[in-house]
Amino acid sequence: MLIFYGSYRRDRVGIRLARWLTAQFAARGCDAELVDAQEVGLPMLDRRHSDYPEGEAPAAMAALADRIAAADGFVFVAGEYNWGMQPGLKNLTDHFLAQWFRRPAAIASYSGGRLAGARSNSMWHPTLTELGMVVIPATLTVGQVGQALDASDAPQGEGGAALVRGFPGFADELLWWVEAVKARRAHSPASD
């Protein structure tokens, strides 16, 4: 399971949510890894991974392509910037295509305000679908993320309590789809 995060801001707070989700999926026995777009450091999109001849893609891009292709499911931790998508996460996502096909994806959105990234969340659904993913119906939304999770990623206050309450259903839905897709691929790997 890969958990994607895309903020490049110096004082980014949404990373708390990404780290918390990674830890929660790991506690459920998942092989959960955080993919931080800032750490991966892909350039602004010029050429997708598939645009390079075999073996010529930049090393960071090729390594991430392999990780995506091997993953059974994805969580997109989607911050909202100016009523829209977080550019770092969108840029990372657009570098790949076939690697995403027929995998389940979940969206956990957040913002510094009370709307919890709802506008970004609604933009990610059609984007991920266009990339060939099945977007699960359950979502997590975290408003006032800096108050909902403290500096050590611990949920706090009403927002943190809502996150803790919402996570089990969110995780159960995603993991159901992960198992369904794995079973299908095991049954007919050549066509998937």
Q: Which domains does the chain have, with CATH numbers?
A: 2-191 (3.40.50.360)
Cα(135)–Cα(150) distance, rounded to whole angstroms? 29
Q: 10 Å Cβ neighbour count for 124?
A: 22
47-98 tens-digit pLDDT: 999 999 999 999 999 999 999 999 999 999 999 888 889 999 999 999 999 9
6 by Cβ neighbours in 10 Å (0-12 / 13-18 / 19+) ranks as buried
Single out the residue of 93, 126, 123, 127 nearest to residue 111, CA to CA: 123
Q: 10 Å Cβ neighbour count for 165?
A: 10
Cα(168)–Cα(176) distance, rounded to whole angstroms? 12
Q: Give the chain's length.
A: 192
The confidence score (pLDDT) of residue 186 equals 83
Using an 8 Å Cβ cutoff, are 170 and 106 in contact? yes
The whole model's pTM is what? 0.95
**pLDDT higher than 80, residue 101:** yes
